[in-house]
Structure 1
């Protein structure tokens, strides 16, 4: 990589980049729902969730108190889950079910990709500072601590606190300011073509698309990684 000595900070997306839902979203939702007297099909949940998530407003609240932000985060997610079950079949015990589901996604639902810790450890040992830029809520801090990766990061910028969600310039600008970096001094790694790849590039940040399934393997001119380990070769011997 040319001018690799200029790269000082590497930003990562969080969910589906560093960690993922252990049993998949549909199965995890269904397992919790079955405790409350309903038996939804995981594939129906997944389809309904995709529609609800895409139509939801940004998970971004900006300058509000911590207490208010946590309330808004919870309401945002409850609206999505309500939309899912309104489509596939609502049930009487929805509210206590949602309380449990919300907590499941604070920790136990998630697991790391096999290479995550090795890559983060290697990059830190080579002197890079690391950051998170994620469209996530404040539970991400608990998730990262539970998975043992919080200590690797110098800063965490999430949409619910920043008031901007990827692909908006706003969240990337906040991350650059907090890191004390210019756009040419950082790289952003993430799995979403719009939010991570195009969002970062629009602000002059080099973006690496994490493409584990090879969906974009045939696209010319796209910087893509088959897994996180591949970032070592992108950065060269320094990594």
Structure 2
């Protein structure tokens, strides 16, 4: 089936964090409701200070969060196979979008690493939904003005990216750099392979 647009997950797919500090997780563990804090961080525009005030976290822990977050953001880097894949897809006229579950603080640093500007960015912290919720995929397809069956979702999460997109009627590919994907899913070890999948869809 023809592919008119490609949606990418961001972290683990296009970008890597070289110095993983997990600041939101560490801060959440200092609260009475860690799971709620993590979900809140990814579905709202909220800061560490906001979390600290709402969940009575000490100022020292909030300062540690801020330092670890700054260190983690500074270590964001583009995977080596992402640059050429994005440039080639963009030059070919394929629409490119991002669909990512992440806290607001990570969005701009990730975008700064990309060699192109995506046509759409669907962030969980803006829309309030987390993959694999069908609504986030519907928003992406509507924003691209493209039918789900003509959109390819590329990501490294079997549940959130691959199965979530397929359940919504989209095409999907799992990025599996460690070659551990289940046999029943379509996977690639390098983003360079996405180019041939897109090209084959139009032949």
TM tier, shorter chain?
0.7 to 0.9
| Larger Rg, first or second structure (1 or 2) | 1
Q: Aligned-pair distance for 1:186?
A: 0.5
SS state of the match for residue 165, structure 2? helix
Q: Aligned-pair distance for 1:56?
A: 4.0
User: Which one of the candidate residues 5, 11, 17 is aligned to 1:9?
Assistant: 5
Structure 2 length normalisation: TM-score? 0.81
List per-residue Cα deviations over 1:137-195 (Å, max 9, x = no partner): 2233321343244x331110011111110010011111111111110111000000100
SS state of the match for residue 111, structure 1? strand
Evaluate the alpha carbon distance shift between residue 189 and residue 145 of structure 1 in structure 2; reply closer, same or farther with a 3 A threshold.
Answer: closer
SS state of the match for residue 177, structure 1? helix
Distance, in Å, in 2 between the alignment partners of 1:187 and 1:76 is 36
User: Which one of the candidate residues 123, 135, 139 is aligned to 1:170?
Assistant: 135
Please list every run of 5 or more consecutive structure 1 residues that lacks an aligned counterpart in the other structure.
Answer: 33-44, 62-68, 83-90
SS state of the match for residue 93, structure 1? helix
Evaluate the alpha carbon distance shift between residue 197 and residue 76 of structure 1 in structure 2; reply closer, same or farther with a 3 A threshold.
Answer: farther
Please list every run of 5 or more consecutive structure 2 residues that lacks an aligned counterpart in the other structure.
Answer: none
SS state of the match for residue 62, structure 2? helix
Question: What is the count of residue pairs matched by the alignment?
Answer: 193
List per-residue Cα deviations over 1:8-58 (Å, max 9, x = no partner): 1100000010011113x2xx46xx9xxxxxxxxxxxx8xx8xxx6799436
Match of 1:110 in 2: 76
User: Which one of the candidate residues 204, 212, 215 is aligned to 2:169?
Assistant: 204
The answer to whether the Cα contact below 8 Å between 2:154 and 2:161 also exists between their aligned partners in 1 is: yes
Distance, in Å, in 1 between the alignment partners of 2:128 and 2:195 is 32
For the aligned residues, what is the CA RMSD?
Answer: 3.1
Q: Aligned-pair distance for 1:236?
A: 2.9
